[in-house]
Structure 1
Amino acid sequence: MRGEVLYFDAERGIGFINGDDGNRYHFASADLATPSRPVKGVAVEFTTEGNRAHEVIVTGGAGAPAAPAHVAAPIDGEVAADAPQQGRRSLFGHFLACVTGNYLRFSGRAPRREYWGFALFMFLFLVVAIFGGLIVDAMVGNLDSDEPVLTIGLTSVLLLALILPSLSVTIRRLHDIGLSGWFILLGFIPTVGNLIILVFCLIPSQKNDNRWGPVPS
C-alpha cells in the first residue's frame, strides 16, 4: 500500500502514516525496511497488519525538515503538533467507525470519546427501534395480544448486529487504560461485573504507548 507520513518522532521511534485507503496506520523504527528517518509529507510504501504498518519504504523526496527530537508524541484525543489538523471525529463518526472498519477489530486502543460515542448512539438506536416498533405494533393490533412481535424483532436484530462491535470497542477501551481485554469477562458477574467495566471505561487513556499500541489520536 502507498501513503504519506503524517508524523514521526525519531527520538521515540514512532510515527503515523495516512494510507491511500483513507486509514491511519502507526509504525515504529523497527518497521522501516531500510535505515532512514521519514519526515512529514514524504511518500512511502508499506504492508499492513490491522492498523499497523510494516516494511515501510520511503519512495518520495526528502519532504519537510525532520521533526525536532523534543516534539512529544500525541496524547489522549490529540494529534501531534506537526501532524495535519484534520479535525476531531464526531461522536457519530466514532459510532460509524465502530460498526464499519472497526467492526471486528479487537486489537489496538480506543479512547473514551470513541467508546462513549458508540455507547450513546447504540442507546439512541435502541430507543428508536423500541418506540418505532411499539407504534407499528399498536397500528396493526399486535399490542392486543401477549407479545409486541415487531418491537421484539427489531430490537433483537439490532442487538445481534451491535454485539460484536460492542465487544470490540470495549476490549480496545480496556487496552487503552493498560488492561487485558480478558477483563471483559467480568461482565458475567451479576450486577457488580458490569459496574466494574463501566468504571474502567471512565478512566482516561494512558498518556504513553503500551503493549497494545500508541496513544490513540
Structure 2
Amino acid sequence: MAEQWTQRDRALWLTCEMALAGARGRPVRPPTPVPSPVRPQLADAETLLAAGPFTRYVLRAGDGSYRRSSGFFFATGAVGLAATAAVAAGQLVGNARRKRAAERDAAPRWEAAGTGLLTVSTHGFYLSAPGGLAAWPYAAVGACEVGRPGLVDLSGQSTTGPVRWLLESDWAELLFAMWALAAHPGHPPLASGAWLPPGWVERAVSLRAGDDGVARGLPGIP
C-alpha cells in the first residue's frame, strides 16, 4: 500500500511554509482562516496561524515515603531461633524492596495535566482549556526545544511564576519555529533543521511529487 499524506504531514508542511516566510522577512499567513475561537490580543498586527488539540504535561515528584517493618519476633529453641532469623531476613528484604519502590516513586516524572486547544500566532500562542484561556507572548518563553516529533519542552514566566511544560500537538513544531524566529533566531536546531522529524523532508517531497519549493529551503532556515 502506498504511503498516504496525513493530517500530521500537512501540519508540518504548512509549518515549513510559514517558518520560511518568517525567516525571509515575508508576511507570515496561513493558507486558510484558522478555526479558533481565540481573538488575537497580543499585538495589533497579530495573525493567527494554526490551531489544534494539545496535551500539557508537568513535572511532578511522587510521594517517596515508605513504611519500614520493625515488628519484633523472637522464639527459643533451635527451631525457634531459625524462625526468628528467617523472619528478620524477610523483614530486611521487604524493607529494602519498599525503600527501592519509594525511591522510584520520589523520582520526578512527567504527568498529563490537561488538554485543550492550542492556537499559534505570529506573536505568541494561546492555550484554551476548561479552566480558561492563557495567552503567552513569545517574550515570556525563556527556552523552547522540540523534545520529540509533535512535542515541545518549554520554560517561561507565567503570571503566577516560572513554569516548565511539555506541550504535545500537531502544531508543536510551528510553535517552536515561530518562537525561535521571534526570540532566538540563533537557536542551533532552527539553523540546522534538526527541529523537524528525521527523514520527514525527504518523505514529504517524495509524496508531493515535485512540489519541492518549500523543501529547497530545508533543512536550515534560511
Higher relative contact order (CA 8 A, sep 6+): 2
- The TM-score normalised by the length of structure 2 is 0.26
Greater fraction strand? 2
Greater radius of gyration (CA): 2
